[in-house]
Each structure stands twice: as structure tokens, then as C-alpha cells.
Amino acid sequence: MTKRPRFLIEVPEQGLCHGCGGCGGACPTDAITMRPTPQGTLAPDIELDKCTNCGLCFSVCPGHSFDVPYFHKKIYGGPPVHPEIGHYREIYAGYAADKDIQWAGQSGGVISALLIDLLERKEIDGAVVTRVPANAPTKAETFIARTREDILSCVGSKYGPVSAAEAIRLVRKEKGKFVFVGVSCQIHAFRKASEFSKTLAPKIYAFFGLHCKGIYSTHFFDFLLARYGLKTSDVKSFNLRSKEWRGWPADLRIETHDGRTIDLSGGLSRTGPRDYFAQMRCLTCTDKLNEFSDISFGDCRVPWVYDKQTLVQAEGGDNPGQSDIVARTERGSALIQSAIDRGLLVTKRMDWNDLVVSTKPSEKKLAISNLKILSPLLGFSIPDYGVTFQPKDAQDRRAFRLLHIPTLVSSAFFVIFWKVAKFGWVRAFYDKLPLRYIHLAGGLRRRLTNYRRANMTEIEAIYREAGEMKIIPGTCHPLAGKKKSRSEAEEKQKSCVAAFNE
């Protein structure tokens, strides 16, 4: 049996924390600060003196559970139209008609083009986006962008840990309407927090969701800097996907203050060492396509969209890239249609099969069944999504079971590496390994865990009954609020929850 956390403090301990910052953003007494972990990710640090043990943080935490049937019912009125890609109304491939924005954007620049348009038409007061802070080229932070210049200053994907704690706090305090741009776990946190706050949900004009396979721990950046004998202070910019030296999907470029440029391509850059430096929780995350956003966006990997036979022919050179665009809600659909009608976006309609080819969502949905077997053996927990995924027909299920043994071995390797990554000597050992061996081992793991579309025809999703959203007091930390009498503690908890609702 897999363990289940009873307190917020146990969420990171059990490998369930994705550093989304939902707990920190919801805490009415600001008792939670998001801090770097020895594993190079982010996790909550609780100041027990400030904590009333009201339980809001644990209740909004999507790390241990996110009730997929509940949110499908709430947002879309029932189960999704497609088990792999969730609910959708239209699917497009597209790019910003403004070539500068298309080139600056990570895929087709569609998010930035839409945000600039919404701000300039005063449809929204701000957009919660993520930027690289000044003088910290390997870090990222959320902030509220209010102008075209703000939006253009934070285009592109940041692949390190980003907490949305500050974003949730800001939206709670600020007046107006906002678009929130985030990866799936951040949007899960916002959605859960909105269930307990009357004021948060009406301020969100739309959720723009990024498709997400996972983030890197900061050890990846340290690893690369060590390889090239650099300190963070030497680095002017650190871009995992720079279109400046290689067209879409672009590759890694480090620029130093003394004018050096280090370019790394293909398996030796961001894709190769991924398995050693990914966040543990990304392995058990099943929502690659950001199913609870109004519109979700990713890299379009469908060759015909680029008028090519294969994806390799489409990559690099003078290709600025295109985005997958999945309009999921009525608002999302209307926003995209209006942008197309006014010539802001250039699009082609795709069908669900094109999106599945482009994004391979079943990889993440099926991986969790292997990890369920490993979790009691290796001492980590599995999140509760209220849904089980399996290949749809019996032949595929047999093929999938045969893949179990090699995938179990490779997943075990990943989990063990995650566990030992907190030791400096392990990381020092990796820093010394030739990059090609790092890449070889990563490639082997990917081959072993290859639940590709070619192997599976369709995925079936079995949904549990939708649960109930409620705040459970006393679930932050076993010691929080212990010095108070019972009645005093209950009083404090009530006022804490009331403060969140203001």
C-alpha cells in the first residue's frame, strides 16, 4: 500500500511536492516561504509560530491530490471528450502574425500575442507571467505584467523551479482581472485555491496553460556551469531554448559577461541529462496538456503543419516554430476565434489525432501505473487524481504489461537518483562524467520507457466519483498551534480561513 500524507509537511517528504507554491499563496498568515531543497527544487518552509493549523495549505495542495472528476464536472459539466487530451472545443496549429513576436516566443509566440492584445484592448488589468530576475540568469519568478514591454520581457519557457505562491498572493490582494499563465500543477493549485476563496476565482479572466513534461532541478544548471568552469556571476544569459542560434525547437545557449557564447545542441543539451535532473513529482504527474486551463499551448510537432514529411526536416534553420493551441472552454474558444478574425494569429485546424501525435500525452498517463508498483518498495507516494488510465484494448494491455519489467527497472533508477541527488558528492560525481555517457544513459531510459503511440492504440480513463472540496483543519504540521488551548486554536483557525475569503 502506498503511503498518504496527513500533513503538509509530509508532502515533500513523500516525493509529492511539485513546488507549485499553492500552499504559500493560500496561507492567510504568510507562514509559508518557498525554499530551495537539497534536491534543487522548491518546497514549503513553515514558520510554526505564525501557523494556526487552519489546514488551508494542505487543502489547496495539488501535490498529494487533485480531484480530476470533480474539476471536469465543475468546469466542463462531465467527463472529458477525449481521455488523453481532456476536454476541448477546437485544436489548431498556429503562430503570431507579428514575425517579431513569433521569433521571440518559445513556440509560435501565440501566448505573448494574445496577452499583448488583451492588455492593449484593456480586457484585462494584468497577466501573471514568469520572468528571469535581473542578475539571476538561472532562476525564474512570477510577476504581474501590465504592458506590451512587460510581456515581451518574459517570452520563452523557463525550465527551472517556479513557485506561483507570490502570484496567488498578488492576485488575492490586487483589484482587477488577470490572465494566469502557468504549467499544469500551478493551474491545479489556483483551481483548488479558488474553491475556498470567493474573491480569487472572479479575478481570473482566463487560465493560459503550458503543456508540460517536467522541469529541471537547479542542479542541472549547476552541472552545466561546472562543466564549463563558470560561476553564476559570470553568466549574462542562460537560455535552454535559444532560437537565436538554432531555429525552432531551438537549443541551449549560455552567454557570459566577458563575451563568450557556449552553444549546446541535441542530446547533449537540455534533452540528454533530463532524467538525472528532473523533479521527482513530474514523474507522477499525468496532466501534460494542462486540461484545466481555458486554452493550452505547446510546441507543434506535426510535420504537415510545416509542409514537411518528417519533423527532422522541419527543425532548425529559419523555422521560427508554431504552437499547438487547444481551446478548451467557451471563453478560450472565443478568444482564439477573435484573434484569428482580427489577423493576430495565423492558424490551421488540426484534429485530436494530430494533437496526440504532437504531444504523446499517454506517456505520462500510463507511467504512473509502474510507479504505483515501485512506491511502497522505494518509499515514495503516488498522488490521488481520482482516475486510472490503461490501454484500451486487451492486446495493448498485454503489450503494456510486457513493458513493465524494463520500465520498472528504469523508473527505479530514476527514483533512486532523485533520492541521492541531495548529496553533494553524488552531484560532484556527475559533474565529472563525460556528457556523452550522461546522454547515453538518459537515452536508454527513454527507450525503455517508450510507451509511444505506436505501441498503444487508445487509452481508457476510469473515473472515480467526484469527491467533495473541504478544508480539513489541523493538517499543516503535527506541532503547529500546540501551545494554544483547543478553543483558542479553533477560533484562530476560523479567523484564518475567513481572512482567505476577504
The residues binding ligand FAD (CB under 6 A) are 105-112, 129-130, 140, 154-159, 162, 181-183, 210-213, 215, 297-299, 323, 359
From ligand SF4, ligand FAD, none, which one binds at residue 459 (CB under 5 to 8 Å depending on kind)? none
Q: Site residues for ligand SF4, window 38-97 (CB under 6 A)?
A: 43-44, 46, 51-57, 61, 63
Q: Which amino acid is at 291?
A: E
From ligand FAD, ligand SF4, none, which one binds at residue 162 (CB under 5 to 8 Å depending on kind)? ligand FAD
Q: Which residues, in sequence order, are bridge partners of residue 463?
A: 387
Cell of 332: 478560450
Q: Cβ distance 51 to 481 under 8 Å?
A: yes
Nearer to ligand SF4, 29 or 390 (CB): 29
**Site for ligand SF4 (CB under 6 A): which residue of 82, 158, 172, 281?**
281
CB of 408 to ligand SF4, least distance (A): 21
From ligand FAD, ligand SF4, none, which one binds at residue 84 (CB under 5 to 8 Å depending on kind)? none
CB of 274 to ligand SF4, least distance (A): 12
Distance CA(138)–CA(238), nearest Å, equals 6
Among candidates 66, 67, 64, which has minimal Cα distance to 8?
A: 64
Q: Cβ distance 291 to 316 under 8 Å?
A: no
Q: Cβ distance 488 to 53 under 8 Å?
A: no
Strands 295-299 and 261-264: unpaired
Among candidates 241, 406, 392, which has minimal Cα distance to 316?
A: 241
DSSP 8-state code for residue 258: T
Among candidates 414, 417, 434, 328, which has minimal Cα distance to 367?
A: 414
Nearer to ligand SF4, 15 or 320 (CB): 15
Q: Site residues for ligand SF4, window 251-280 (CB under 6 A)?
A: 279
Q: Which residues, in sequence order, are bridge partners of residue 345?
A: 96
How many residues of this chain bind ligand SF4 (CB under 6 A)? 41
Using only C-alpha atoms, what is the Rg of the chain? 22
From ligand FAD, ligand SF4, none, which one binds at residue 326 (CB under 5 to 8 Å depending on kind)? none
Q: Is the dihedral of CA 345, 349, 352, 355 positive or negative?
A: negative
CB of 502 to ligand FAD, least distance (A): 27
Alpha helices in 284-387 (DSSP H): 311-314, 330-341, 352-359, 362-378
CB of 52 to ligand SF4, least distance (A): 5
CB of 446 to ligand SF4, least distance (A): 16
Distance CA(117)–CA(127), nearest Å, equals 11
Nearer to ligand FAD, 123 or 490 (CB): 123
Q: Which amino acid is at 77?
A: G
Q: Site residues for ligand SF4, window 203-232 (CB under 6 A)?
A: 212-215
CB of 140 to ligand FAD, least distance (A): 6
From ligand SF4, ligand FAD, none, which one binds at residue 489 (CB under 5 to 8 Å depending on kind)? none
Nearer to ligand SF4, 240 or 496 (CB): 496
**Site for ligand SF4 (CB under 6 A): which residue of 7, 14, 15, 31?**
31
From ligand SF4, ligand FAD, none, which one binds at residue 63 (CB under 5 to 8 Å depending on kind)? ligand SF4
Query: Does 496 engage in binding with ligand SF4 (CB under 6 A)?
Result: yes
Distance CA(392)–CA(369), nearest Å, equals 14
Query: Does 22 engage in binding with ligand SF4 (CB under 6 A)?
Result: yes
3-class DSSP assignment, residue 345: strand
Distance CA(276)–CA(223), nearest Å, equals 11
What element of type H or E holds 70?
helix 68-76
- Which range touches ligand SF4 (CB under 6 A), out of 11-19, 151-159, 267-275, 455-463? 11-19
- The residues that touch ligand SF4, with contacts defined as CB under 6 A, are 8, 11, 17-23, 26-27, 29, 31-32, 43-44, 46, 51-57, 61, 63, 183-185, 189, 212-215, 279, 281-282, 285, 476, 480, 496
